[in-house]
Structure 1
Amino acid sequence: MRLSKLRGACILLLLSFMLLSCEYPVSTTGTSNSGQGDTSATGKNRFTNVSTTCPKPLERISSCLTPYSMRQVYGIQSLIDQGFTGKGQTIIDIVSFGSPTLKADMDVFDKAFGLPPVNLKVIAPLNIPEKDPHGDKDGWGDETTLDVQIIHAMAPEAKIVVLVSPVAETEGTFGLPEFRALEQYVMDHNLGSIVSQSWGASELTLKDSAGQQELQQWDTLLQKGTTKMGITYFNSSGDQGATDYADDNKKMGNVPATSFAASSPWVTAVGGTTVNRKAGNTAGANEQAWSGSGGGFSLFFKIPDFQQGLSASIQQQLQGRRGVPDVSGDADPYSGLAFYRKGNWNMAGGTSASAPLWAAIMALANQAAGHPLGFINPTLYKLAASDQYDHLFNDVILGNNTNQGARVRGYPAIKGWDPVTGLGTPKADKLVPALVKAMKTS
């Protein structure tokens, strides 16, 4: 396992059919300001590559997902067939360093799966020296490429802006001021209205005065973004299960812990699942909690209003704290999307894969609404509390996020919300119209 601060993404590498696992981070952002679905000949059924078999190096792995099979699992293909492709929307991916091979890798990925050429822009607005204390630059390249490929596969006509920091985000406050500057840049330049971030700083490393001051500045910024600017933020919940790193040397904590920015109440925190399906059959897919799915209760943030309606038994767990995550998606690298970079096909996972998945779905929702929906957390929980819950979400009730290596007991996935998979995974073809309708009438 290649360790870096990059903790949002796991990449299953297949070289000469030998399996290795790696870990890296991700960020994304999306926008919305236009148009209804295009069901004309140039819209419906344009994305006709229905292959459920991955490229040659991965074809023997029945759990490998293609863009089509992942879209089928989550009901996204039905929306695309109706013309909701992310057209007119912008998704922003905030990362350190980016990837010098991104455009070339996207060309190969798009050709393999019959996707249109990606509408991609890379911006590096911070004129400051590069800092990479752990030598993670290439890992951030994997992370960047993974983010962009998942977004493009799920929302093929959305514009993607990669916003790059020259400073690695590690643990504690290192890299957070620079990322915060990029968040401000998004607002100052009206770049987009969906931001998905696949990085995280363990709350265990943010207890000192510097950490608390940094969190306060982020809280003010994210609140403004959601309530004043109509931005929807997604953040990976982490890949360490019920605990997280205790320090910058990657020593694991021996207590339950979550990470920031997933723990922010202004962010939609995205946990992870494992997709189980019969070979070539997406209709028979089911899910269980991925053991690495970050989840638990914030050390710093109080329970937000939208979680106060959860059941009495959940309230006993919350004890007045912000619960993480809110939702989830496929994050197990053994059931991940086929991913291409620098001449190699791999399988990707981690919660930095599930966060951009939700960012892409948000682009479809914003397109359907004709405007940015903004802060969706209250509406997600309201819909989940209604009799529509099983119609809109896949309720994950198997698995847990115990971290065996750190000997930290996790939480079980149970009916309804839980601190492993949140409210569950999306049935996007039902959830998107319900979300748009509910936010229109609220």
Structure 2
Amino acid sequence: MKTSILHAISRLVALTTILAIGLAGPIAHSHADTPPGWITLPDNVALRLANARLLSSLPLNPNTQMTIELVLAMNHPERARAFIDALHDPHSSSYHHWLATGGFNAFFGPTTAQVQAAKYFLVSSGLTVLPQAPGNSAFLIVARGSVHNVEAAFHVSIRYYQGAGGNVFFSNNTDPQIPASLQGIVIGILGLNNAPAAYPRSVKTRPASRRSSQVADYGGGPNGSGLTPSQIASIYNADPVYRKLHDWGQRTTLGLFQLSGYTPSDITVYENTFHLRHVPLVNILVDGGATDHSGAVEVALDIEMQIALAQGAKRILVYQSPNDDKSIVNQYFRIATDNLADAISTSWGLCEPLSNPSEIRAENIAFIQMASQGQSIFAASGDDGAFDCKQQGDPTLLAVDNPASQPYMAGVGGTSFAGTFDPGNNPHPGYPPLPAEHAWDGSGGGVSQIWASPAYQRGPGVFEPGFSRTGAYCGQPAGVLCRQVPDVSMNADPDSPYSMYCTDPGDNRCTGFMDGDGTSASAPLWSAIAALADTFQKGRLGLFNFFIYHLNSPFGYHRVFHDITVGNNGHYPAGPAYDMVTGIGSPDIFGLVTLFGKPQHEQCQKHDKHCKR
């Protein structure tokens, strides 16, 4: 089986012109301080140092033990991308023949010789290479040693800094160096800093009983706290999926990426209040799990939104890790290596200009692995409109969010019903006439400064004169279109919120039944839609972007998407077909579930005059 798949990959490379997207490995740059036989790994300094203050009075003990990781390059990346294209192509013999657990490492992982060369360097530098634990990725080599040995190994100095927000963290202040013999093998080093590397995308979450007098109660949740599960299902047309298809997402496993702990009993209260099935929760702790519960409201919101639409799910895997670049990468690789979750959501991110490029490169490998295994993953696009660095102190810089901007990720933006539609206590309100659903001004969206537009991102509205960018803007050859986000969207406005429940004492925002909002809500809802689609199609559908852009056409919209054409996110306007505020649009879940995975000619209906037969 392994040989036949490898032959198929080789044939694809030989027969296909490949559009290479994404970041290549780092280019070696020599400078006066680089010894002969060594190279510098660029982009391996915590970018938050630009706004941080060196704490000279707080020296780092040179004998303190620390853990670092080498990120190894993927072999045959062009083959991997071509293979993924074929896996999602209904006309390919490889269609939906997802790689089994371990297959990705066998075909695209580092060789034994490459691994041994990297380990030899670490050991010869006085570091201890740790045994690979279950669930660890073949692309990561973990080592431990004193601060002194780490500094000497990579020719760096590690010191304490205080960030603009007052947080204290350690970091190297220069890029590390490695032997030239490891060029093309090692693409990044993680663990040289422990600065917070991601932030939750939930926004004005607030207790429903303490809203300002200017904001009325909304929806049918307790105390007017927002939309209930039955209202979400009715508005976005999931009811016939339950009634006609008897599909509640059964047999599917959902996954969540989290950087905070939570209180499981909060989820039980939510389920009991809305008479939902108790979906089993499985906590999977990476690197010891989250260090606190300060983002408990985020975790509760994500879990409750998945259950709201996919209450028949077999289980929800709640992955948790500390919030630093090393542990974030470890968690994404753990999700990929486990290969247990069919659909995954992440509501934690950081604006691209401040994200660690080594972390981005490593994450990209994990997301490519997920796509090759048929796992569907969705990321919140951010809640600061077109200016994603706003929370980090730059309110005017046009920027998008990582990981939503990654090419092997479905970025989820936000819409709004505020001021145009409130279902009140009606449990089955249906979808209101357009333009009642309009663009939310907080919906993260825009143009990536890192990635080229993937081959799947095509269709009406994708190239928008005056707003789309090409070439050097995203580090690509002239004329190459840059990646745009979001891909899809769903209601996310704090003024048309979802009802949620959280009482975790570790998060002072948790006050019982309260508003849940932001793209933090829309991303897990989309992962629940993926669970419904997987159940109906009796198998994984893979990265949704490969299919949804085929529906970015007149015949696709009227059955599958609501085309959001009103509003903006502070810079980019909503408009017909694709736009950089709401993507392709918000879903008609029944239409989407029943059309997903079918070849384009099978999506045509007799009454679709625009359909190509």
Q: TM-score, normalised by structure 1?
A: 0.79
Which moves more between the two structures, 283-292 or 265-274?
Answer: 283-292
Q: Check conservation: 2:567, 2:574, Cα contact below 8 A.
A: yes
Equivalent-residue separation in structure 1 for 2:518 and 2:235 (angstroms): 17
Residue 149 of structure 1 pairs with residue 304 of structure 2: yes
Q: CA deviation at 1:284?
A: 5.1
Equivalent-residue separation in structure 1 for 2:602 and 2:336 (angstroms): 26
Aligned residue among 357, 370, 378 for 1:212 = 357
- The one-letter code matched in structure 1 to 2:358 is Q
Aligned residue among 365, 374, 385 for 2:542 = 374
Residue 263 of structure 1 pairs with residue 418 of structure 2: no
Q: CA deviation at 1:16?
A: 4.5
Equivalent-residue separation in structure 1 for 2:600 and 2:339 (angstroms): 22
Identical pairs, percent? 30
Q: Check conservation: 1:202, 1:245, Cα contact below 8 A.
A: yes
Q: Check conservation: 1:296, 1:420, Cα contact below 8 A.
A: yes
Residue 191 of structure 1 pairs with residue 340 of structure 2: yes
Q: CA deviation at 1:439?
A: 8.3
Q: CA deviation at 1:395?
A: 0.6
1:48 is aligned to: none
Aligned residue among 330, 333, 342 for 2:494 = 333
Residue 163 of structure 1 pairs with residue 296 of structure 2: no
Q: CA deviation at 1:83?
A: 1.3
Q: Check conservation: 1:368, 1:436, Cα contact below 8 A.
A: no
Which moves more between the two structures, 175-184 or 318-327?
Answer: 175-184
1:14 is aligned to: 207
Q: Deviations over 1:68-124 (max 9, x none)?
A: 01111111122122311011111111101221x2x2111211111110112211111
2:443 is aligned to: 293
Equivalent-residue separation in structure 2 for 1:334 and 1:271 (angstroms): 16
Equivalent-residue separation in structure 2 for 1:144 and 1:341 (angstroms): 9
Residue 243 of structure 1 pairs with residue 243 of structure 2: no
Equivalent-residue separation in structure 1 for 2:586 and 2:354 (angstroms): 30
Residue 318 of structure 1 pairs with residue 480 of structure 2: no
Q: Check conservation: 1:91, 1:195, Cα contact below 8 A.
A: yes
Structure 1 residues 18 and 328, CA, compared in 2 at 3 Å: closer, same or farther? closer
Structure 1 residues 72 and 215, CA, compared in 2 at 3 Å: closer, same or farther? same
2:599 is aligned to: 438
Equivalent-residue separation in structure 2 for 1:188 and 1:372 (angstroms): 16
Aligned residue among 216, 222, 226 for 2:367 = 222
Residue segments in structure 2 that go unaligned for 5+ positions in a row: 1-164, 167-195, 214-218, 470-480, 504-510, 604-613
Residue 83 of structure 1 pairs with residue 246 of structure 2: yes
Aligned residue among 218, 231, 235 for 1:73 = 235
Q: Check conservation: 1:394, 1:424, Cα contact below 8 A.
A: yes
Structure 1 residues 312 and 287, CA, compared in 2 at 3 Å: closer, same or farther? closer
Q: Which has the higher contact order (CA 8 A, sep 6+)?
A: 1
Q: TM-score, normalised by structure 2?
A: 0.58
Q: CA deviation at 1:194?
A: 1.3
Which moves more between the two structures, 251-260 or 355-364?
Answer: 251-260
Structure 1 residues 439 and 127, CA, compared in 2 at 3 Å: closer, same or farther? farther
Name the SS of the counterpart of 1:71 in structure 2. Answer: helix
C-alpha root-mean-square deviation of aligned residues, in Å?
Answer: 2.5
- The one-letter code matched in structure 1 to 2:548 is L
Name the SS of the counterpart of 2:500 in structure 1. Answer: strand
Q: CA deviation at 1:279?
A: 3.5
Q: Check conservation: 1:91, 1:192, Cα contact below 8 A.
A: yes
- The one-letter code matched in structure 2 to 1:87 is Q
- The one-letter code matched in structure 1 to 2:379 is N
Equivalent-residue separation in structure 1 for 2:590 and 2:330 (angstroms): 35
Q: Deviations over 1:116-136 (max 9, x none)?
A: 1122111113248x66xxxxx
Q: How many residues align?
A: 376
Structure 1 residues 217 and 89, CA, compared in 2 at 3 Å: closer, same or farther? same
Q: CA deviation at 1:323?
A: 0.4
Name the SS of the counterpart of 1:256 in structure 2. Answer: coil
- The one-letter code matched in structure 2 to 1:113 is F
2:584 is aligned to: 423
Structure 1 residues 192 and 321, CA, compared in 2 at 3 Å: closer, same or farther? same
Q: Check conservation: 2:458, 2:549, Cα contact below 8 A.
A: no
Name the SS of the counterpart of 1:413 in structure 2. Answer: coil
Q: Check conservation: 1:268, 1:377, Cα contact below 8 A.
A: yes
Structure 1 residues 125 and 311, CA, compared in 2 at 3 Å: closer, same or farther? closer
Equivalent-residue separation in structure 1 for 2:431 and 2:528 (angstroms): 23
1:385 is aligned to: 553
Q: CA deviation at 1:184?
A: 1.6
Q: CA deviation at 1:440?
A: 11
Q: Check conservation: 1:106, 1:118, Cα contact below 8 A.
A: no
Q: Check conservation: 1:71, 1:77, Cα contact below 8 A.
A: yes
Equivalent-residue separation in structure 1 for 2:413 and 2:317 (angstroms): 23
Structure 1 residues 68 and 125, CA, compared in 2 at 3 Å: closer, same or farther? same
1:202 is aligned to: 351
Equivalent-residue separation in structure 1 for 2:210 and 2:327 (angstroms): 39
Name the SS of the counterpart of 2:389 in structure 1. Answer: coil
Q: CA deviation at 1:378?
A: 2.0
Name the SS of the counterpart of 1:373 in structure 2. Answer: coil
Name the SS of the counterpart of 1:266 in structure 2. Answer: coil
Equivalent-residue separation in structure 2 for 1:269 and 1:109 (angstroms): 27
- The one-letter code matched in structure 2 to 1:258 is V
- The one-letter code matched in structure 1 to 2:201 is G
Q: Deviations over 1:33-67 (max 9, x none)?
A: xxxxxxxxxxxxxxxxxxx6221x22xx7xx2111
Aligned residue among 283, 299, 304 for 2:430 = 283
Name the SS of the counterpart of 1:146 in structure 2. Answer: helix
Name the SS of the counterpart of 1:388 in structure 2. Answer: helix
- The one-letter code matched in structure 2 to 1:266 is Y
2:258 is aligned to: 95
Q: Deviations over 1:122-177 (max 9, x none)?
A: 1113248x66xxxxx44411100000001001100111110010x22xxxxxx233
Residue 53 of structure 1 pairs with residue 203 of structure 2: no
Q: CA deviation at 1:187?
A: 2.5
Rg larger for? 2
Q: Deviations over 1:188-236 (max 9, x none)?
A: 2222121111111111213xxxx2222222222211210x211111000
1:411 is aligned to: 572
Structure 1 residues 123 and 365, CA, compared in 2 at 3 Å: closer, same or farther? same
